[in-house]
């Protein structure tokens, strides 16, 4: 199969139910890409990343690690360092490495890449994804060293791109972190709560205007492309959950009523909404 045929088959498989067999078919398909050195760099990077992702979804953590080692070796030979950020941009893959006992490897990659690759106009979006993955509480709380590095870089990124179209999700994620941190340290949260709510009011109307940008799943460009306002507004899901977990029930209920009950229907979100409903009775 040539690369175009492989991509078409990949698109077909990715749309199927995510069974073990489908994941393994995707892995076998993409190994054809990395074994053919005549393929473009972008295509080989895409294949390596998706192989790690399939192994992570299969919870074959040793295989995730081994593929990541091969991926890292391939990336080390490229002139463009930005591609290396693909190693640390995904929460599922971080979780797989962590659960497999390879957290120190993930930590090594994160510190090395984030300290050596500067934020710039060509990478700031995937760079944010790397910081988000490091700080994402649903994966695992990171150790203080990674957390401190990631927070400082996130604050720098927000300052650099204050006027960028992507600032909404950058800031909302930052406010979510600050709300959690301040709550855990018994610090005053009023200023952060007010700012986050102002941002929520700017974002939530965009939930009604669904905008999709068709991309090939797992490419560097798909990770580094600008997100639509609808996509950015979807981060409200995590914002409301954070408000509930930090016991800001009135505000969480207010936000939920504004977005409507049919906007987010995942089990994790609805479980938290049930908590608010019981408290607000």
**Residue 245 and residue 183: Cα distance in Å, rounded?**
10
The pLDDT tens digits for 193-207 are 999 999 999 999 999
Sequence-ordered list of residues with C-beta below 8 angstroms from that of 134, at least 6 positions apart, any chain: 88, 94, 110, 142, 146, 147, 150
Q: HSE (CB half, 13 Å, CA atoms) of 71?
A: 28
Angstrom CA distances, 238 to 41, 166, 180, 235, stand at 35, 17, 12, 6
Closest CA to 130 of 187, 181, 170, 163: 170
Residues 244-251, mean pLDDT to the nearest whole number: 96
Query: How many angstroms separate the CA atoms of 101 and 105, rounded?
Result: 9
pLDDT at 140: 52
At 214 the pLDDT is: 86
Residue that has been written with the tokens 């401190």 in this structure: 148
Residues 2-57 pLDDT 10s: 999 999 999 999 999 889 999 999 999 999 999 999 999 999 999 999 999 999 99
> Would you state the pLDDT for residue 18?
83
pLDDT-based confidence at residue 139 (cuts at 50, 70, 90): very low
Rg of the chain on CA atoms, in Å: 20
Please, are residues 205 and 230 in contact by the beta-carbon 8 Å criterion?
A: no
User: What's the pTM?
Assistant: 0.95
pLDDT at 273: 96
User: Terminus-to-terminus CA distance in the chain, angstroms?
Assistant: 61
Q: Which residues of 107-128 are buried (b: 16+ CB within 10 A; e: fewer)?
A: bebbbebbeeeebeeebbbbbb
């Amino acid at each position: 199969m040539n690369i175009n045929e492989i991509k078409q088959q990949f698109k077909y498989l990715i749309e199927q139910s995510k069974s073990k067999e489908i994941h393994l078919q995707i892995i076998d398909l993409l190994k054809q890409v990395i074994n053919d050195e005549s393929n473009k760099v972008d295509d080989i990077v895409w294949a390596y990343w998706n192989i790690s992702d399939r192994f992570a979804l299969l919870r074959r953590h040793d295989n995730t690690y081994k593929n990541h080692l091969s991926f890292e070796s391939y990336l080390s030979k490229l002139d463009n360092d930005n591609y290396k950020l693909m190693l640390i941009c995904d929460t599922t893959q971080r979780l797989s490495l962590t659960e497999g006992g390879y957290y120190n490897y993930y930590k090594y990659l994160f510190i090395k890449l984030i300290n050596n690759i500067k934020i710039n106009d060509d990478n700031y979006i995937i760079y944010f994804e790397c910081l988000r993955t490091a700080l994402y509480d649903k994966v695992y709380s990171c150790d203080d060293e990674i957390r401190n590095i990631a927070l400082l870089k996130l604050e720098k990124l927000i300052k650099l791109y204050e006027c960028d179209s992507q600032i909404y999700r950058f800031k909302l994620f930052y406010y979510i972190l600050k709300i959690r941190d301040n709550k855990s340290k018994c610090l005053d949260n009023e200023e952060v709560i007010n700012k986050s709510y102002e941002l929520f009011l700017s974002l939530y109307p965009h939930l009604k205007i669904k905008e999709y940008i068709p991309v090939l799943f797992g490419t560097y460009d798909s990770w580094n492309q600008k997100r639509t306002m609808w996509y950015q507004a979807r981060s409200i899901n995590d914002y409301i959950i954070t408000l509930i977990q930090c016991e800001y029930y009135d505000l969480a209920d207010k936000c939920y009523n504004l977005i409507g009950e049919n906007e987010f229907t995942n089990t994790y979100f609805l479980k938290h909404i049930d908590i608010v409903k019981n408290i607000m009775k």
